[in-house]
Amino acid sequence: MPSVGKTIPHDSAVGHVTGTAPYIDDLEMLRDELHVSFVGSPVACGTLDLVDSSAATEIDGVVAVFTVDDVGSHNLWGPLFRDEPFLADKRLMYVGQPVVVIAAESPKALAKARRAVEINATAEPPILEIQDAIDSKKFIGLRRQIARGDAETAIRNAAHQLSGQFQIGGQEQFYLESQAAIAYPGEENQLIIHSSTQNPTEIQAVVAEVLGLSNHQVVCICKRMGGAFGGKETQAALPALMVALVALKTGRAARVVYSKDDDMCVTGKRHEYLAIWSVGFSSEGVIEGSKFDFYSNGGAAADLSTSVMERAMLHADNGYFFPNVELNGQVCFTNLPPNTAFRGFGGPQAVAAIENVIQRIAEHLNVDAIEVRRRNLYGVEDRNVTPYGQIFTRNLLPGIFDQLEESSDYKNRRLQVTRANQIDNMVLRGLALTPVKFGIAFTSKFLNQGNALVNVYTDGTVQVSTGGTEMGQGLNTKIRQLVADELGVPYRDVIVMPTSTEKNNNTSPTAASAGTDINGAAAANACRKIRARLADYAADLFTSNEEGLVKSPEHVVFAEGIVSDSRRTDKQISFGKLVNQARRDRIDLGARGFYVTPGVDFNRNTGRGNPFLYFTQGAAVAEVAIDRFTGELTVPRVDLLIDIGKSINPGVDMGQITGGFIQGMGWVTAECLVYNEQGHLLSHSPTTYKIPATTDFPSVFNCELFENDENLHNIRRSKAVGEPPLLLGVAVWAAVKDALSFVESEVDPQLCLPATGEEILRCLTDSGKSIK
């Protein structure tokens, strides 16, 4: 039976729950392996005056202490711009910025040495807020624009106008396995690095460049990560550099594992955004002109911030057609750790911004926001071109709206919410339906490629290696299913090997929800090469002693571990016997597959083109209940409907959908990053940073897949599922905004994101106490 389309358990599920699946810190230590950590900047902004490590070097068990003087002339690195120091050199840019790397024989000696290092700095006033950066004109990269029509004129001539500012908070990735890496030195200055990273190729390149090596001297390996969510796409570079430096200088293996506190304090997060917007619309709520100025908090270096801003601008329309639109984007410099990728990569912030505008239009017209959304949805035959010029083909949003509105009993529940708010003085209720249209592909064209190595062995078993990394999302499980079906062998006879730059070179990060799309397609292409060779060989076998039967590789069938000729049921051989015999006849049983995402070409200078292969689409209905006296929020019910094409693994995909939604719900309601005036993160542990708990899970959570068998763009007609569900969490925020609209107020309290209990209570206090 085929594997694709079945719910097959995650290939590491048993290892996860039994604790036998090894992560970086589970790898057995070598006898002379060193423990590594760092000492960071005590200030967010200033000048480095003195680094005194003399006391640390005298501690028994301390082997080495390194500063920027030990790095050389290649101290700067960065995925887009080389603007981030590996170790601080004169200028200090954020609290905790690595200044000193320490290597010791034991964790005890390492901890003692960290306390013994003295760092003196002259502090300067830091820039921590977006508005301060705007006022100081401190920016990263160029201002970007995507525009169509004449937005300002359309806004001015519309029957109604609204404008405002919307503050969108950041988010901590909160992966369970902190940043970690091990470096093993080899001959001729070679290094093997085991890294908890989404991007082994970048680890290889950055380590080589900063330490003055060549790429072929560095191998990066990643077996699995204990979560990542974008936080290990680039941020894994610094810990890898630390252990690589120690291993290269000492000739000994070196290991670093950040504590949770250190990890949260010094790594980048989802970008905080400020959206300044204006919109003009008709009396029916149809948007005629819109303008958004997006500002993001990039932190102290570029990291991926300009690319995150680009994707934000590309998702500012969400599921809505804008005839006249102007989108501007600018990344701001602040004295915080460089912010980075996070599931959704700028898309969630932009979707939140437009959904805020939709709610404001509905409040202004005193209509249900679902009607405003429906009237502005992209069309199927017309009104289907995005602001950047890509035609939105296969628009399923109208059908998704109709089906979800009916299945969630939206109309009746809207009446119930309105009635309850009129008679209940204790609890305030809200209801909202929001869509998502999430583009799938890397917006940088060159990243839309992948390669895979498939080796078939003489017992009929198969090893697969790709550039994709497994962070718990089930990528390896899906690739095993795809390969098993391509070769017609049982799932159990296929295994996916640890990701290694030695086997898969020049790969893209596992990101942009494209892991299965790219790596699965590359693996399938490799399998087809092998299958073609075997089909030709089997066709010879089937016809060698058979008169009148013409050799026909096209009739050779691979299924359930048996290879047969579809014309004759008696002509068959087991896959294992076939490959064993083929090897003896010198048939190549290995292949490298390569895949290039077709049709993707976006010109970021003009803001025009086709940045995406297709769109994953969906919608969610969220109902909320708010304690009017404390601001406490609960989410009693969520109904979610999403199109992911033909699912490769429904069970794995459903886990991604529900988990992604809850992570998005956490971002829009409870996860609040708090810094003090000196740039120290105060919410740096589970006690002060509130991620969703099991008690926050909606009591009723209906999650369904929208039937769609027509995604011909992608492997096995599937669609990407990693990021889009998170954006549906915005429905919960919109429901809170809807609830607050029932409170009488002369001035909109402008609910910020996240809608924490404190933020909701502020809005209730500012609005007054009476119900409309």
- Which tens digits make up the pLDDT trace of 277-322? 999 999 999 999 999 999 999 999 999 999 999 999 999 999 999 9
Helix pair 575-584, 521-543: axis angle to 10 deg: 80
Specify the pLDDT at position 770: 52
Q: Quick one: the chain helix, strand, coil %, rounded to 5?
A: 35, 30, 40
CB 196 within 8 A of CB 23: yes
254-257 vs 325-333, strand pairing mode: unpaired
CB 447 within 8 A of CB 519: no
CB 222 within 8 A of CB 232: no
Tell me: pLDDT of 767 over 80.
Answer: no
Query: E-assigned strands of 55-129?
Result: 62-66, 76-77, 84-85, 91-92, 98-104, 118-123
CA distance 429 to 418: 8
What's the distance, Cα to Cα, between the start and end of the chain in Å?
60
Tell me: pLDDT of 768 over 60.
Answer: no
287-299 vs 325-333, strand pairing mode: parallel
Of 272, 310, 723, 759, which is the active-site residue? 723
- The CB density around residue 622, as the number of other CB atoms within 10 Å, is 30
Specify the pLDDT at position 746: 72
Tell me: pLDDT of 772 over 60.
Answer: no
Q: How confident is the model at residue 753 (pLDDT cuts 50, 70, 90)?
A: very high
- The CB density around residue 515, as the number of other CB atoms within 10 Å, is 28
Bridge partners (DSSP) of residue 291 are 278, 326
Residue 491 parent element (H or E): none
CB 358 within 8 A of CB 738: no
CA distance 495 to 454: 10
- For residue 754, say if its preceding peptide bond is cis, omega within 30 degrees of 0: yes
Interval 623-640 mean pLDDT: 97
What confidence tens digit (pLDDT) does each residue in 632-654 have?
999 999 999 999 999 999 999 99
Tell me: pLDDT of 769 over 60.
Answer: no
DSSP annotation string for 307-368 = HHHHHHHHTTTTTB--SSEEEEEEEEE-SSPPP---TTTTHHHHHHHHHHHHHHHHHHHTS-
145: left (phi over 0), alpha (psi -120 to 50) or beta: beta
Give the torsion sign (CA, 301, 306, 311, 314). positive
CA distance 425 to 442: 49
Give the torsion sign (CA, 620, 626, 631, 634). negative
Specify the pLDDT at position 252: 98
The encoded tokens of residue 348 equal 């969630």
Specify the pLDDT at position 62: 98
CA distance 40 to 114: 10
Specify the pLDDT at position 545: 72
Bridge partners (DSSP) of residue 74 are none
723 has catalytic annotation: yes
Helix pair 305-314, 347-365: axis angle to 10 deg: 40
Q: How confident is the model at residue 568 (pLDDT cuts 50, 70, 90)?
A: confident
CA distance 247 to 769: 64
CB 203 within 8 A of CB 220: yes
